[in-house]
Chains A and B, each alone.
Chain A
Amino acid sequence: MAYPHAHPREVRLLSKYFGDEDAIGIEGWAERGGYVALEKALEMGPDEVTEVVKESGLRGRGGAGFPAGLKWSFMPKDGKRPNYLACNADESEPGTFKDREIMRWTPHQMIEGIIICSYAIRAQHAYIYIRGEMVDVVRVVNDAVVEAYRKGYLGENILGSGYDLELTVHLGAGAYIAGEETGLLSSLEGRRAEPKVKPPFPAQRGAFGMPTTVNNVETLAAVPHIVENGADWYRQWGTEKSPGTKLFSCCGHLQRPGNYEVSLDFNLKELVYDLCGGPPEGRQLRAVIPGGSSVPLMTVDEIDCDVSYEGIEAAGSLQGSGGLIAIDDSACLLRSIRKMVDFYAHESCGQCTNCREGTVWLANILRRIERGDGREEDLPLLLDVGANMAGRTICPLSDSAAVPVVSGIQKFEEEFVAHIKDGTCTAVR
């Protein structure tokens, strides 16, 4: 069964069983080939598993795109201190809803990935840090963890391998910043979800001060496939630098919004127009945000690129989380941007001055322009504040808040100018 709009041009690796009720439980999952990869991994050495993942070129699907196998290889192997894995299931990037569906339909796909990764990084304890608002998904994940314990995939001496792993599901309490990897670790430790200064990186000092790997749900869900079928098999999709498939959560002004899994060399424009059906009848798209609200806006002219990390970057944005937001000509772009900045202002943890103060300033200046009280010097002011928010702070939330403003002014200056000069909006109502 397809979910919700299947398209023949997709490569449904992770999303194959989306919408398939029978794939949720462990028996159904086993019938669909589940936990075969785990058995295989346990027969390999931990470093061998890491090596396969490294060779596959799998990159982090949470937004930064850091090579997963490389990240694992930073973990100490001496066993002097406990190693931890934290699965980042705190999916909250505006426009992103892929991890939610992975967990809702295929929780064991993620859990199997977690066990294999934990084995590879020599962790005895893994955590799923899951967004607390996803009440129904939490229930599914909790049930699946219980099932995995019952089956002997978790706990002591997993499948007779001598390897032990505990898995704890930890609910977030509703802060976007808890999705930032070090903010997540702070929250996991029972503190405010305040990001930590890096270095030291989590692999040196993570959860509870111990070496920790933090991986996104989608990243971990891809691991069993790679381990089972090999690195070369995985590399049949995507590009040299961005192998494999990726889920895009597509929303906004589209005819067929939803999750689409495509090879990473797929064309972005085709994703928007063919798979998602383009904008509603009679509308023109004005802007596309390809990777959640933290990445630069793209004009429609820019989107004829492939969806690989490097492809989108070359075209002027970033793949980010794969949360694609399409904005057509009915929307006031300024207002859309202001609402994004409002979101970041609300979600800033408040530690760093640039972010705590800057987000509110950006939002207030934008609000002033929106009201019709804008001044010409507001644009350079926005750019100046934005410039001093990006690349200056402990975590990248501050960068994210500046991104829609700076890219908006760069690419859609006429929208801002119209508001400032004429008090009007370029949106077609």
Chain B
Amino acid sequence: MITGTRTISLEIDGRPVTVPEGTTLYDAARQLDVEIPVLCHDPRMRPVGVCRMCVVDVGERVLAAACVRKAADGMSVITRSDKIERCRKTLTELLLSDYPEGSAREQKSADDLLLQLARDYGIEGRAPSLPRGNGRPQDDSSPVIAVDHSACILCDRCIRGCDEIQHNDVIGRTGKGYGSRISFDLDNPMGESTCVACGECAAVCPTGALTVKPITVPIEADRPLETVDSVCPYCGVGCAITYHVDREKNAVARAEGRDSPASESRLCVKGRFGFDYAKHPQRLTTPLIRRDDYYPKGPLSSDVKGERRKKPGGLVDYDEVMPAFREATWEEALDLAASRLKAIRDEFGPSTLAGFGSAKCSNEEAYLFQKLVRAVFGTNNIDHCTRLCHASSVAALLETIGSGAVTNVFSDVRNADVAIVTGSNTTENHPVAATFIKDAASKGTTLIVIDSRETGIARHAHHFLQIEPGSDVALYNAMMHVMIEEDLIKHDYIARYTEGFEELKGLVARYTPEVAAKICGVSADKIAEVARIFGKANAAIIYWGMGISQHTHGTDNARCLISLALLSGNIGRPGTGLHPLRGQNNVQGASDAGLIPMVYPDYQNVASEEARQKFEEAWGVPLDPNPGLTVVEIIGGALDGSIKGMYMMGENPFLSDPNVNKVRKALASLEFLCVQDIFLTETAEFADVILPATSFFEKTGTYTNSDRRVQVGQVTLEAPGEARLDWEIVCEIATRMGYPMSYDSASAIFEEFTSLAPSYSGLDYDNLKPTGKLWPCPDPETSDGVQLLFGDGFPTSSGRGKFVPVDYQPAAELPDDEYPFVLNTGRMLEHWHTGTMTRRAKALHAIEPEAVCQMNPQDLQAMGLEPGTLVTLTTRRGTITLKVRSAPSVARGNVFMPFHFREASANILTNDVLDPHGKIPEYKFCAVKVEKA
């Protein structure tokens, strides 16, 4: 690390060079374009100097490793001499002597660093005079990474990759001397260790010791692969990826992290190994129309019907659902969809139509889809899954600081003194964002984790507060109470940039730590301690996830967090900010593009005359001045008949919306449903027309990550069969409904979108490459965009941030004698939402193949349940059966379950009661009964 501003002058190979103090000889040499060979060194990691390949002569008895030795004044360095070159050659020979024939890395990607050195030093084969064969084993236990200990040169890269880049701390060394080996945990097979399969080790390994296993097609160096620079299709972190594509087989062979400010070349298991869903045989390849004998409509597969299958688990059985549909031409399917939607609009009025877009689709698709619903359907009944994740956060943010987006990027945690992570299972849901938080925590940022579960990020926390589910407001009010009481607040900031402080002060006065302790289950002392740490921080940043938002008081939770930041002046400076971690890869963008019933693109209010006029002018039609319905309201409308026709682009509400039994009835009672997707989803079982769309890999589009970074996803694969681009399909429907729509390309749509969305102004496909830009970006030619927002006031009517004090309210459905447990739902690392993609990704499915719920081991013991047995979970809304896993991370009295699994859908159980402001359902809390199945 470069530590000083002082400079050092030295000589390398007789040439003078001046470098900042703290520069290593390796880096100093690079400055002179002198390449020093390395095996163990990687600029992304702390140098360790163990391979000794980079040794140079600094005039001492011992040759110094250039990667670790710091430059010193007057030093004279020789990087190449007979002595040094002989040492390097001997080292190469030593390593090569028992290196296995046919390095896996050389075979897969022809970039084996040791063999490269051997070629450089003219070493052909192995020295015949040397003993060979280290007899170290292979480890095939991981589904994604092949381990060949015999090809390991103990360079320590994987260990540092695991410890220092990803902070998973799985790999270490065992044994000593020649018997040393890398080991996973306590020398377990990799597949049985705590390895989270991020693949960083294989990415940094220079030899054949750790390589990625093929997932789709064989990875062979002599098979030419094309590279495509794109982004990850999964979460809101938006990692940059280079896909290596086998053109002949039209398949991604492997994925590689690409350097970008958002991800710094890191990936998680989904990004690195979850790309093969696009090639799954269940892809829809022709338009489908429901056969006449399958009316009246209803669920088709046994899981969606709610019947207990004999063999639980897994994907939809197409044999159960396909007979209900017949193949159709595009013409027929589009005509049918357009004519039915038009007929409903004309007969019952525009407000009986609704559209669900998706945060998985690009900005262009989202923009076009909401344009279709608004300009062609004639209604604002357009919403998408953001409603189900951060609607309450956005409601609170818009209300208090006038903008729903993050005020700072997640990686800026490195500049924070204190970070709060609350209601976020960051290591599983935003794994790469979590690496930045973990890294900061290891380098001096005090990490405070607040959660009802002891999630992975809690292991890195300096202070972990395991609160009672749903007690957040009480905790934050008490923290603010202490901060005000002990004068740990920023008076200047409050006076200059906020309003409503007195009201807040008045309300939180009642929330002493003692009062909150009774509600939260955390001691008053701990609450006060954490409040002081937060209050005294010079720069503090707050991250939150669904644990905050998915409550009936989700908006209140977010209001409290915003108040905490305003109270301490922690907005708009480096290391500060509010960061609701966004779920979907384009949840920020889909909202920006207007897939929200109350606002046009860029949050321009539909109720505003001025905004409406702007869009009426742009789109050339009169627009509905009334805000539309939200996701759960639309489903309710379908049930009561006020919504009659729907068009869904890439959403699967059957599994993602609360109270499945209600959703089932609602979807069945729709007069017409058109589903556009890449697989025949649970929702599509209720469709009249199914339109085969393109997957992420088959189209170009922009995606806006959690940081507001707009990035371009590129065409990587050819679409299967007759599948068509989503935006083209939308254009076809619009045109057939009497509103001609056509564009040359996705970038043309982006151009139209940006012309109407001031925040995106100036951005285009050219300036977004290669690593995207943060919006707003006033000067895209020279700048990466604005990282810190609101350093000087807020986009509210008063220009001030508003304190909205709130009282603690319990969850809507509390446990009782009949339903004594609290059910919490969420995600797991390997799976994505309704499992449509990840359960069709071979590696991800192999790691987590079936539905599970988690309970505290003491509860299991008390109930006489063995981990792995089947349990029945029952709420007032339904019953499911699935395996139970023992999880000390779950507090007693709680049950956690992921909602990815169709055969045991969490949302059969969840409560569809809504937060009054954000209209978000209370996924994180309902009362449940647990019985042995």
Contact = CB atoms under 8 A, between A and B. Distances in A.
On whether the two chains bind one another, the answer is yes
Interface of A: 175, 177, 192, 197, 199, 345-361, 364-365, 368, 375, 377-378, 381, 384-385, 387-388, 391-394
A248 B129 CA distance: 40
B48, B49, B52, B179 — which one has the most chain A CB atoms within 10 A of its CB?
A: B52
Given A359-B178, A377-B129, A378-B129, A353 B95 contact: yes
A360 B95 CA distance: 12
Given A351-B154, A353-B94, A197 B65 contact: yes
Contacts of B154: 350-351, 353, 356
Contacts of A358: 94
B180 A356 contact: yes
Interface string B65-78: 10011100000000
Given A353-B91, A356-B177, A388 B86 contact: yes
Contact of B177 (A346, A368, A391): A346
Contact of A361 (B69, B70, B130): B130
B51 interface: yes
Contacts of B153: 353
Contacts of A357: 91, 94-95, 97, 178
A175 B87 contact: no
Contacts of B176: 175, 177, 346-350
Q: Considering residues A199, A352, A378, which has the most beta carbons from chain B within 10 angstroms of its beta carbon? A: A352
B173 interface: yes
25 contacts: A192-B173, A197-B49, A199-B70, A348-B178, A349-B177, A350-B173, A352-B51, A353-B50, A353-B52, A353-B91, A353-B94, A354-B94, A357-B97, A359-B178, A360-B131, A361-B130, A361-B131, A365-B131, A375-B129, A385-B90, A388-B87, A388-B91, A391-B61, A392-B63, A392-B87
Contacts of B48: 197, 351
Interface string B35-72: 00001000000001111110100000111010011100
A235 to B, nearest CB: 28
Given A351-B154, A357-B94, 11 more contacts: A177-B176, A348-B178, A349-B176, A350-B176, A351-B50, A353-B50, A355-B177, A357-B91, A358-B94, A377-B129, A393-B52
A350 to B, nearest CB: 3
Given A375-B129, A385-B90, A388-B87, A360 B178 contact: yes
Contacts of A394: 49-50, 65
A364 B48 CA distance: 28
A348 B52 contact: no
Contacts of B95: 353, 357
Nearest to B86: A388
Nearest to B131: A364
A401 B62 CA distance: 15
Given A351-B154, A391-B61, A368 B52 contact: no
B721 interface: no
Nearest to A349: B176
Contacts, number: 103
B122 interface: no
- Chain B contact residues: helix, strand, loop or mixed: loop
B175 interface: yes
Of A347, A349, A353, A364, most buried by chain B (CB within 10 Å of CB) is A353
Given A368-B131, A384-B90, A392 B178 contact: no
A170 B169 CA distance: 26
Contacts of B39: 353
Given A361-B130, A375-B129, A384-B90, A354 B52 contact: yes
Nearest to B68: A197
Contacts of A354: 52, 87, 90-91, 94
Given A197-B48, A352-B52, A360 B177 contact: yes
Specify which of B49, B65, B131, B177 lies most central, judged by the most chain A CB atoms within 10 Å of its CB.
B177
B22 to A, nearest CB: 12
Nearest to B72: A199
B128 to A, nearest CB: 10
A339 to B, nearest CB: 15
Q: Which 8 A-B pairs have the closest CB atoms?
A: A350-B180, A348-B177, A357-B94, A364-B131, A388-B90, A360-B178, A351-B50, A391-B62
Nearest to A346: B177
Contacts of B63: 391-392
Most chain A CB atoms below 10 A, which of B51, B69, B70, B176? B176
A62 B97 CA distance: 36
B644 to A, nearest CB: 68
B90 A350 contact: no
Q: Which of B55, B68, B129, B175 has the most CB of A within 10 A?
A: B129
A347 B156 CA distance: 19
A343 B438 CA distance: 41
A248 to B, nearest CB: 26
A297 B53 CA distance: 30
A120 B61 CA distance: 30
A387 B84 CA distance: 11
Contacts of B61: 391
Interface in B128-143: 129-131
Contacts of B49: 197, 394
B590 to A, nearest CB: 47
A244 to B, nearest CB: 25
A314 B609 CA distance: 98
Contacts of B180: 349-350, 356
Contacts of B52: 352-354, 392-393
A392 B131 contact: no
A394 B156 CA distance: 15
A351 B48 CA distance: 9
A384 B175 CA distance: 27
Nearest to B98: A357
A64 B68 CA distance: 23
B58 to A, nearest CB: 11
A388 to B, nearest CB: 4
Contacts of A368: 131
B87 A353 contact: no
Contacts of B50: 351-353, 394
B30 to A, nearest CB: 19
Most chain A CB within a 10 A radius of its CB, from B86, B90, B131? B90
Contact of B62 (A361, A377, A385, A392): A392
A345 B90 CA distance: 18
B185 to A, nearest CB: 15
A350 B87 contact: no
A377 B130 CA distance: 11
Interface string B161-204: 00000000000010111111000000000000000000000000
A343 B55 CA distance: 26
A359 B70 CA distance: 29
Interface in B744-786: none
A361 B131 CA distance: 7
Contacts of A192: 173
A358 B90 CA distance: 9
Nearest to B65: A197
A349 to B, nearest CB: 6
A58 B178 CA distance: 37
A349 B813 CA distance: 59
Contacts of A197: 48-49, 65, 68-69
B179 to A, nearest CB: 7
A378 B128 CA distance: 11
Contact of A350 (B65, B97, B130, B175): B175
Contacts of B175: 350
B313 to A, nearest CB: 43
Contacts of B70: 199
Contacts of A352: 50-52
Contacts of B130: 361, 365, 381
A345 B173 CA distance: 17
A182 to B, nearest CB: 12
A395 to B, nearest CB: 10
A385 B127 CA distance: 12
